[in-house]
Structure formats: C-alpha cells, structure tokens
Chains A and B, each alone.
Chain A
Amino acid sequence: MIHVQNVSKQYGDLLAVDNISFQLNKGDVLGFLGPNGAGKTTTMRIITGYMPATKGKVYIADVDIFEDPLIAKSHIGYLPENPPLYEDMIVRDYLDFVAEIKQVPDREKNGRINYIMDKCGILDVGKRIIGHLSKGYRQRIGIAQALINDPAVLVLDEPTNGLDPKQIIEIRELIKGLSGDRTVILSTHILPEVTMICSKVVIINKGKIALEESLERLTSKMDGVENILLKTRYWGEEIQQKIISLPNVSDIRLGISNELIIQPKKGTDIREELSDLIMRNGWGLLEMRPVAHNLEEVFLRVISSEGD
C-alpha cells in the first residue's frame, strides 16, 4: 500500500532524511518513532506529497505521489503535527469544505460528515466555532478531517501530542477503532502507544532508519530476559564491579536517575544472589524490582548506539 523507496531530503546543508526505505501492506499499522528532529515529520510530509523528496520515490497504492499527485493524494488522509484548522469556521462547515476539496461526491458528503463526526465524538460541537474549542476537540476535528474521504492510507503525526491523559486514551481508542483495513502511519513519542496500537515499528534517528521490525518479532526477542532495577543507599564504582562479577550477570548499566539496570543471563534468576551480595556489603538496599525489557529500552539503545 505504501512503498517508500530510497527517500532522501536535503534542506540546504542539512540532510534531514537519509535514504529511507520501507514498505507497508494493507492493514499495517506502523509506529514511526524517533527523537525530535530525527526526520519523522519530514518523512511524513514527503509521503503525503506535501513536499517532494530530494531523491527517491514514494508510491501510494502503486501510484507515484510525485508523478501523479492528484490520484495518489486521493488515497491519503493526513493529520499534521498541528491540526490544519481554520479558526474562524464552524466545525461542520469546515468538514464540509474539507470534503469538497478532497473530492467526496456531493451525494455522499452529508452522510460521510455525520458518520465521521459521530465516530470522532464531535457531533455535539458541530455548530461551534473551531477557534473556541479545546485542544482535545481540535485534535478530534483534525482526525475527522483526515478521515473524511475514507482514505486507504492514514498518516498521523503525533496525534496524542499535548492532550491530557483522558483525551490521550480516547484518541488512542479512536485510532484503534478506525484502523480496520486501513494502512496507518503513526508517529509518536509515547512508546506504550506503539505496543497498544501498532503492528510494526520503524525507529529513525538522524534521518536514517535505525530499526525496522514487526511488533511481534520485537516482543518475542525481548521475552525471556527480565532486567532488574536496583537502587542502593551507598553508591560507587565497586558496586558495579562486584555485581558484574556475579556468574549469572551478563550486563550492567546506569539508568536515567542513577539506578542500576542489571541484565541477567538468559533463563536465570539472580535476585537472590544479588540481595545477598548487597546485604553482605551493607550497601543499603532501597529498591529492587524486575523491569520489563520494553520498547523504551529498545528505543534508547537504538538511538544511543546510532549516536556513537
């Protein structure tokens, strides 16, 4: 459905996107991850035909977005990072306008608008002026706008950005319910979101693809190893030295707030020997708990290893 082929984008001296390729089939939901400034938005803008790539090609449903933009664009619904809303318009008029420029046939238009407004939960604000609505509603209108032409491809740039926790859950459910057999690209900072919604993950860093994997394979890789988070009152180099010399410890590193993340060898439980060690040395055990070897860690590892 979406075929991104060796796409690069150069802004002056800056290579924002560097030779990216990936392919999505019908029904795939791609979690598009990466730190700020990694080139996510640029890639999405190229895929949606907002700007041309410096090099490479993008095919939407086998149509080159740059050669045949009108046909390719008719398959796409796009929610940019900032929802493209006309503040002075009434919600319903706005969706009517979007339906018209997206070439929704006149006889289907009203039914389509009603259906989408209902799905996105904005029926009750249909007569309000967009500029007066809260951020949650605006984001919903943004999503409604992207869905109005029933697109086969849905590109969402940080759809839950800046929402409160309740709104985030609602929008997430909405996206989940909408995906169906659509192909979705979803960029986000919130990693659990990806595990909840997506079937595939692409992590990009500094314009390059750092990891491309289906979520199933990613999670199966991470299974079987459970890292341990350790906090002690006493803190020093020797702790790390001593722990790493335990027979079943394969790796140790420093977490974000100076806690230790200890990776045991596969299939072993080191909790007992670890607590023993700490007791014997009187380091003062404050916290010890298993941490899921989750996407967050994969993400951080991929991002930091690329940086070296």
Chain B
Amino acid sequence: MNAVYPILKRELRSYFASPLAYVILVVFQVISALFFSLYLKGFLHLQFDPNFQLLRGELNLNNVVVIPYFDTMSIVLLFIIPLITMRLVADERKSHTAELLFTSPIKLRSIIWGKFLAALILLIIMLLLSSLNLFVLTVHGNPDMGAIFSSYLGLLLLGASFLSLGIFASSLSSSQLVAAIIAFGILLLLWLVGASSDTESSILGYISLINHFENFGKGIIELKDLAYYFSIIYIGLFLAHTALDSERWR
C-alpha cells in the first residue's frame, strides 16, 4: 500500500491546481451559509409567534435549525460529489496516464484508495468550512453539541459513501461528463428508493441512503447505520476495483 500516499498527494495537488476545488468549496459554502441563515431567520421569527410557548419543547434550535441545515447539506452533497469524483478515473483514461499507473509496480487497490482518500480530504475541508456557520450558534445560543457532532459524522459517512460510488461511476467511462451523470443517477436512485418506508420495515427502506442519516441528526449513533455506510463505501470501492480489473481482460 506504499503507493497510496503519492497517488493521494497527486490527486489533491491536481484538485487545487485547477479552479475545480475552489469553485466547489465556494459554491458549497455559499449554499450552506444561505440555507443556514434562512433557517436561523425562521427560528427567530418563531419566537414572536403567539403559539411558540406551547410548542417550546419541539421547536428548539436543534429541530428548527440544525437538523434542516444538515438535511440540506446532504442534498447539496448529492449534487456536488459527482463533480468531485467524475475526473478521478475517467481522466486517467483520457490523458493516457492509466497506462503509467497500470504498468507501475503498484497495486490497483492502492490507486483506488489514494484517489478515494484525496477526495475524502476535499470533502472534510468542505465540511470544516461549513462548520463556521454553526459557530455562530455556539456564540449566541446553546445548541446540542452532541447532535451537531453526530450529524457531522453522519454527513461525513454519507459523503464518503457518495465518493465511493462516484469513483465507481468514474471507472466506467473515459468521459467526465458521462461519469458524473452515472454517479448522479446511482446516488439519486439509492437516495430515493424506499425513501417512503423506514429502515426496519423493508429492504428498499434499508438500502436507501437517506434513511440512515436521520438518526445522526437526533444525536444517535447506531451500529447498524455505521455498518451500512461502511458497507456502501466498501462496495463502491470494490466495484471500482472490479470494473478496472475486468476492463483489462476484454
């Protein structure tokens, strides 16, 4: 696995050598800040609602601002992550550098891990920047820090699952555009399938990427949700490995 680091380093450098990483960071930050201020404003207006006192238990900072905020970010990630992953493998084909990688004395596994971890680091930077929004809450209010941390963990796992499936999509094509469309298709499908049922009652409900995210928002970290996301990450990377390996046989 000694090639993971050079691959990771090169990918990160490549993200930041082009405007792509900056554009993605800015867009994500602007959208999340916009929605955050929207939810916060909504919460402030609620305070002047005559019925507010009656529902005080339900209408806390967490339920009105934090949970919707994370839900929104998860949807924004659904759109942005295919753009992060689309070039990872497809571009190696297009620039003929796949021939360099596959004739070097390194394992295919290291290549895929290097790429995944590079994208993961970009995702972590995105999430860290977005946490600046929540910082406002800790200054002027008293949010449930446990729920915020668990939400971030959930968002990170969700994003990592998206990345892994995105890398798989990218390994299917030499066109970045096609890779992004495939990734978006897979994510949307896994997102919406069984979204109407919950994780316990049906298989489709269990497969759905969105259902496992809910608990994290409530501050609950359950083993089954962790297992679910780690499985998705593993499956995505495994499929990418299989796709690349089998391609050489054809």
**Residue ranges of A at the interface with B (Cβ–Cβ < 8 Å):** 11-12, 45, 48-52, 69-71, 73-74, 76, 78, 80, 82-89, 93, 97-98, 100-103, 145
Contacts and interface: CB of A to CB of B under 8 A. Distances in A.
B103 A101 contact: no
Nearest to B111: A101
A85 B101 CA distance: 11
Nearest to A130: B95
Contacts of B18: 88
Given A50-B103, A71-B105, A101 B3 contact: yes
Contacts of A87: 95
Contact of A88 (B6, B17, B107): B17
A70 B105 contact: yes
B161 to A, nearest CB: 27
B96 A80 contact: yes
A70 B96 CA distance: 20
Interface of B: 2-3, 5-7, 9-10, 13-14, 17-18, 95-107, 248-250
Contact of B7 (A70, A71, A73, A101): A101
Chief secondary structure at chain A's binding surface: loop
Contacts of B2: 103
B102 A102 contact: no
B14 A103 contact: no
A84 B14 contact: no
B66 to A, nearest CB: 39
Which 6 A-B pairs rank lowest in CB-CB distance, beginning with the nearest?
A: A84-B100, A100-B6, A74-B105, A73-B105, A82-B96, A84-B97
Nearest to A93: B13
Nearest to A10: B250
Nearest to B2: A103
Contact of B102 (A49, A89, A97, A145): A49
A89 B100 CA distance: 15
Contacts of A52: 248-249
B102 A86 contact: no
Contacts of A45: 99
A60 B104 CA distance: 14
A167 B17 CA distance: 30
A12 B5 CA distance: 37
B95 to A, nearest CB: 6
Given A50-B99, A83-B96, A85-B96, 6 more contacts: A50-B103, A78-B103, A97-B9, A98-B104, A101-B6, A102-B105
Contacts of A101: 3, 6-7, 100-101, 104-106
Contacts of A49: 102-103
Given A82-B96, A89-B14, A97 B103 contact: no
